[in-house]
Amino acid sequence: MARIRTAKDVSRKEVILKAAAALFHAKGYKAASMRDLAEMVGVEAASLYNHIRSKTELLHDICFNVANVFWEHLNKVELSDARPIEKLETLLRFHIKQMIENFQEVYISDREWRYLIDPYLSNYQNQRRTYRKRFAAIIEQGIENGEINKIDASTAVLIVLHAVSGIESWHRSKIKVSGEELEENMITILIDGLKK
């Protein structure tokens, strides 16, 4: 029986999660099967259950792993001594890099989370709302100290995050600028657009 091949310092579960993110991105969570996943990692479908309990568990782990990465980064940014506009740029650069470097996982956490089941679904929705409120609070601080134009902070957060999710089309492009150029272009457009 074939075994799941792993690189050094990478667990079999991590290999399965990476493959699941690629599969869910390609087929959609609902259409993807454990048989498809087993084929991707080169084992029998029954062997997957030595490492995971269900397809639902995979979606949960992908979504919450990504959410935790963003949450930890936001905590660090909020605690920094940077000005609000600098915090925003740091957050935005992090979002862009995650969409470029960990695209499939971030895509799944952003688009397929609605297939989570309670209590995880409610928890995830609350985390998303809280994250956006904290992001908006940084914009509001910038407005208060005169760095950022007077705008509705919640709307600004939605626009910024939707712009970042649009990086999906960059991944599909046949001819594209480098990831670094994409990041700099987005920073110029989005951060300069907020500056007073």
Locate the domains of the chain by residue range. 12-48, 55-194
CA distance 175 to 171: 10
Residue 123, pLDDT above cutoff 70: yes
**How far is residue 103 CA from its own chain's centroid?**
7
Q: Tell me the percentage of the chain whose pLDDT exceeds 70.
A: 95
Instruction: Tell me what the pLDDT averaged over the chain comes to.
Output: 90
Q: Are 153 and 140 in contact (CB under 8 A)?
A: yes
Mean pLDDT of 31-37: 90
pLDDT at 47: 74
pLDDT at 196: 80
CATH class of the domain whose range is 12-48: mainly alpha
Residue 52, pLDDT above cutoff 70: yes
134 CB contacts (<8 Å, ≥6 apart)? Answer: 74, 78
The length of the chain, given as a count of residues: 196
pLDDT class of 7 with cuts at 50, 70, 90: low
* From 2-6, 105-109, 132-136, 186-190, the region with the lowest mean pLDDT: 2-6
Q: Where are the alpha helices (DSSP H) in 1-148?
A: 12-27, 34-41, 45-48, 55-79, 84-101, 103-111, 120-144
CA distance 50 to 59: 17
CATH class of the domain whose range is 55-194: mainly alpha
| Predicted model pTM | 0.88
Could you give the 3-state DSSP secondary structure of residue 148? Answer: strand
